[in-house]
Structure 1
Amino acid sequence: MRDEKEFRRACYEAARRTRGRVTEFQYSDFDECVIGYRDRTIAIMCNRDAVLAITEPRSIDFSEGWVDGSPLTYLDEPELVAVLAEQPGFRVLTRAELLGPPDAEAWGISPYDLKCWRPATLGDALFNFWD
């Protein structure tokens, strides 16, 4: 189960050790920490089960109410993955794992959700807005 305080601590530690700077946190169905680097901006997502994914920051459009602007784009960030993997209580997934097929049994994903929402990848199933 995710703990907001521990997620924030892990993100600040990861940013510090990878020479980045935490610029914001957002909270919804899953938590998002945005980290800025000199040459790029990335996000760390944390779902309710404390599974972490590294993505491009989400694009959210508020012009017509709250609308998620695009699906998540998973990134390869080996240095950041290594630091996050050391943080107790979290499991960080690589881009390859997140782009793999959703496995309902292995991840406790509702078969109904898979049938109804049809996530194309494990990442889509774990980091979604339908629950």
Structure 2
Amino acid sequence: MTDLKAFRCACHEAARRTGGELTEFRVSDGPTPNFHQAIIAYPNRKIAVVCVRDAPLMALAVPRAMEFTPAREAGPLTFVDFPDLAAALTAAPGFRLLTAAELDGPIDATKWPRLSQQDMRYWEAQTLGEGLFNYWD
């Protein structure tokens, strides 16, 4: 289980270090999605720091709606690189920040034994990002 307090602190500190503002912290407390989001606002864009609920794995992505109304977004996340924010998050103890290239790449089951191969086949995950950060029930 991910330590929400540690995740929130890491995001606050990273936002402070990079001139952003943590404007929203979205906790996933239902069956889907399987990740939490911290939304960091910059003058020209917003970035979501996403963290898997069951593992200390983070990534940077385009922010997604987590509410059911009017409709919940449920497709794959769009992962992004934001070097300054990535550098600040890399300093967060206890977490691993994955890059957009890693997440947009293929899934190597030997490197990710905790990923359910049955789920991967059923949901037809094509990338590591789809396997790790998803809306599967």
CA distance in structure 2 between the aligned counterparts of 1:27 and 1:60, rounded to whole angstroms: 9
CA distance in structure 1 between the aligned counterparts of 2:46 and 2:109, rounded to whole angstroms: 31
Aligned to 2:24: 24
Q: How many residues align?
A: 130
The root-mean-square deviation of aligned C-alpha atoms, in Å, is 1.6
Which blocks of at least 5 consecutive residues in structure 2 are unaligned? 29-33
Question: Can you list the C-alpha shifts for 1:68-118, whole angstroms capped at 9, x where unaligned?
Answer: 254311111111111111110100011101101112221121110111111
Aligned to 1:71: 76
- Identify the match of residue 100 of structure 2 among 83, 95, 99: 95
Aligned to 1:114: 120
CA distance in structure 2 between the aligned counterparts of 1:122 and 1:54, rounded to whole angstroms: 14
CA contact (8 A) 1:59 1:70 kept: no
CA distance in structure 1 between the aligned counterparts of 2:98 and 2:13, rounded to whole angstroms: 18
**Which structure has more helix as a fraction of its residues?**
1
RCO higher in 1 or 2 (8 Å CA, sep ≥ 6)?
2
CA contact (8 A) 1:51 1:91 kept: yes
TM-score of the superposed pair, with normalisation by structure 1: 0.91
Which blocks of at least 5 consecutive residues in structure 1 are unaligned? none
Q: CA deviation at 1:63?
A: 3.3
Structure 1 residues 30-49: aligned runs within 5 Å: 30-47=35-52, 48-49=54-55
